[in-house]
């Protein structure tokens, strides 16, 4: 973070110092204009004073105008260490009385009652600043013009600019250093979070500390949410491995025994019997593996909701029920469907809903009464209900609270199930915001599982809308 050009520290420094430098440049331009204005004003006042001094030396003798100014005074007047000063005194009657005959005229002639006229001009190919004033004398009008080159003005403006900018540049340097240290200190909590993560082992998923400033807390909260999700996924993975080991160890051992028995048997009938046991064990192991994978998909942390879409539960139930008819015929069970034909919509994962119903049907056919009845019902109201009912022995009321737990089988249960079917039903229902409940059949006998799910309406334009 400290060496890359695109680091947050460098971005902050650029975004803060570049506007600051721009302000310094703009301030320098403004300071130069202000300095030039005040230096011009000061030197304009000096020009006016020179012009007034010359005007006071104008004398009138016998209708003649003269300037009582010795040659030495004129040389002193025109001499300057920096630059050059020019002047001319003119009379409306006599013309040029004294001074530079080629002195540039003002843009307009000054009048008796007029303020001095300041103007810019050129003298000897050099830019000058000049002033013109009028000195009335009876019927004559004396005009005094004084001008000077701009070296002194420019020098003064530059001195004023330097005197203004130097402290500002020093202040800018101090501010940049303070910004650097301030940004470094402000980003210290991020460095602390980085160090916490770098020091951790891949298996340490404990939440990070939340003692940083308010601006860093959203980051730590997001990281902690990620760590919690990873921890939940890790727990689910371990649970899956433990469940798989628990459920597959015994069937696989039995498969090994039956396979060895088949290899040892010389009688074809005995060998065929052993192979039938192997085939039955393979089917059981395959079903257990399938149920374990389904259970893992239905875990809350599996993020199945990203695949949710609008599903017609009635159409799905009719299709899945039809798929289970051959299995029901094998057990001479009357499997039927009642309820809505279609148009009962929920926001769900279609494959998981099909798996939920398949587990309910498998449970009813496996543990229900041979040659009995199994009915699938779908009804749509404020909530969607999916029911599977059989007329078998049912489950005593005192055991109904925990039959949804994993690997729970009642002591007198017949069949080769592993106690995962109803657990899968509950997990899938909960994942879809619903619930599963057990009750007696409609004739106060048998076994009925009712799954309730939130309903959505799909209007004619095909866009679903939630109910309630």
To 10 degrees, what angle do helices 421-431 and 350-367 make? 150
pLDDT at 129: 93
Determine which of 250-264, 337-351, 374-388 has the lowest per-residue pLDDT on average. Answer: 250-264
Residue 376 burial by Cβ neighbours in a 10 Å radius (0-12, 13-18, 19+): buried
pLDDT at 468: 42
Euclidean distance between the first and the last CA atom of the chain, given in angstroms as a whole number: 50
pLDDT interval class at 23 (50, 70, 90): confident
pLDDT interval class at 267 (50, 70, 90): confident
Nearest to 134 by CA among 252, 52, 250: 52
Q: What is the pLDDT of residues 219-232, one digit of tens each?
A: 777 877 887 777 77
> Which domains can be identified in the chain, with CATH numbers?
8-157 (3.30.450), 217-297 (1.10.287.130), 306-466 (3.30.565.10)
pLDDT interval class at 462 (50, 70, 90): very low
Dihedral, CA of residue 107, residue 108, residue 113 and residue 114, to nearest 10: -20
pLDDT at 243: 62
Q: Residue 136: pLDDT above 90? A: no
Between the alpha carbon of residue 211 and those of residues 184, 189, 208, 228, 459, the distances in Å are 18, 9, 9, 18, 50
* Cα 3 from chain centre: 24
Determine which of 23-27, 158-162, 394-398 has the lowest per-residue pLDDT on average. Answer: 394-398
Q: What is the pLDDT of residues 290-347, one digit of tens each?
A: 666 766 666 554 566 677 889 999 999 999 999 989 889 988 999 999 888 888 999 9
Q: In what order do the strands lie in the sheet with 456-457?
A: 309-312, 345-348, 456-457, 465-466
pLDDT at 416: 53
Q: Residue 377: pLDDT above 80? A: yes
Averaged over 423-433, what is the pLDDT? 85
* Cα 286 from chain centre: 46
pLDDT at 304: 64
pLDDT interval class at 284 (50, 70, 90): low
Residues in CB range of 41: below 8 A, 6 or more apart: none
pLDDT at 375: 93
Burial call 211-224: b when 16+ CB within 10 Å, e when fewer? ebeeebeeebeeeb
Residues in CB range of 451: below 8 A, 6 or more apart: 356, 360, 385, 386, 387, 425, 429, 434, 435, 436
- Per the model's pLDDT, the better-predicted residue between 50 and 77 turns out to be 50
To 10 degrees, what angle do helices 268-297 and 350-367 make? 140
pTM above threshold 0.85? no
Q: Residue 57: pLDDT above 90? A: no
pLDDT at 51: 87
Residue 21: half-sphere exposure toward Cβ, Cα within 13 Å: 8
């Amino acid at each position: 973070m400290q060496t890359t050009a695109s680091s947050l520290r460098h971005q902050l420094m650029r975004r803060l110092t570049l506007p600051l430098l721009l302000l310094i440049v703009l301030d320098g331009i403004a300071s130069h204009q202000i300095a030039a204005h005040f230096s011009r004003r000061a030197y304009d006042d000096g020009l006016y004073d020179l012009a007034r001094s010359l005007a006071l030396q104008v004398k009138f003798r016998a209708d003649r105008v003269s300037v009582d100014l010795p040659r030495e005074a004129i040389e002193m007047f025109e001499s300057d260490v920096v630059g050059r000063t020019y002047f001319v005194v003119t009379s409306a009657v006599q013309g040029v009385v004294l001074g530079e005959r080629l002195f540039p005229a003002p843009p307009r002639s000054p009048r008796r009652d007029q303020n001095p006229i300041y103007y810019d001009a050129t003298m000897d190919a050099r830019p000058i600043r000049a002033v013109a004033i009028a000195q009335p004398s009876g019927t004559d009008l004396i005009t005094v013009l004084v001008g000077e080159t701009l070296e002194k003005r420019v020098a003064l403006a530059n001195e004023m600019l330097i005197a203004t900018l130097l402290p500002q540049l020093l202040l800018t340097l101090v501010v940049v250093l303070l910004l650097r240290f301030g940004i470094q200190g402000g980003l210290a909590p991020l460095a602390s979070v980085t160090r916490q993560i770098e020091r951790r082992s891949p298996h340490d998923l404990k939440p990070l500390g939340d003692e940083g400033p308010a601006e860093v807390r959203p980051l730590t909260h997001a990281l902690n949410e990620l760590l919690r999700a990873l921890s939940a996924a890790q727990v689910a993975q371990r649970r899956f491995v433990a469940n798989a080991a628990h459920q597959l160890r015994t069937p696989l051992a039995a498969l090994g025994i039956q396979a060895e028995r088949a290899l040892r048997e010389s009688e074809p009938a005995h060998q065929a019997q052993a192979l039938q046991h192997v085939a039955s064990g393979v089917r059981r192991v395959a079903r257990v593996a399938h149920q374990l994978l389904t259970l893992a998909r239905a875990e809350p942390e599996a993020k199945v909701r990203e695949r949710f879409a609008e599903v017609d539960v009635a159409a799905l139930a009719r299709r899945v029920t039809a798929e289970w008819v051959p299995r029901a015929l094998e057990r001479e069970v009357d499997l039927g469907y009642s309820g809505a034909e279609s148009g009962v919509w929920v926001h769900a994962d279609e494959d998981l809903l099909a798996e939920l119903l398949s587990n309910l049907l498998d449970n009813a056919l496996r543990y229900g009464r041979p040659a009995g009845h199994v009915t699938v019902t779908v009804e749509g109201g404020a909530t969607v209900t999916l029911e599977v009912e059989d007329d078998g022995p049912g489950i005593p009321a005192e055991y109904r609270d925990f039959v949804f737990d994993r690997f729970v089988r009642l002591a007198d249960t017949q069949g080769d199930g592993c106690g995962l079917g109803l657990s899968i039903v509950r997990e899938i229902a909960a994942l879809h915001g619903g619930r599963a409940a057990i009750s007696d059949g409609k004739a106060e006998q048998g076994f009925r599982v009712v799954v309730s799910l939130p309903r959505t309406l799909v209007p004619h334009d095909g866009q679903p809308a939630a109910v309630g």
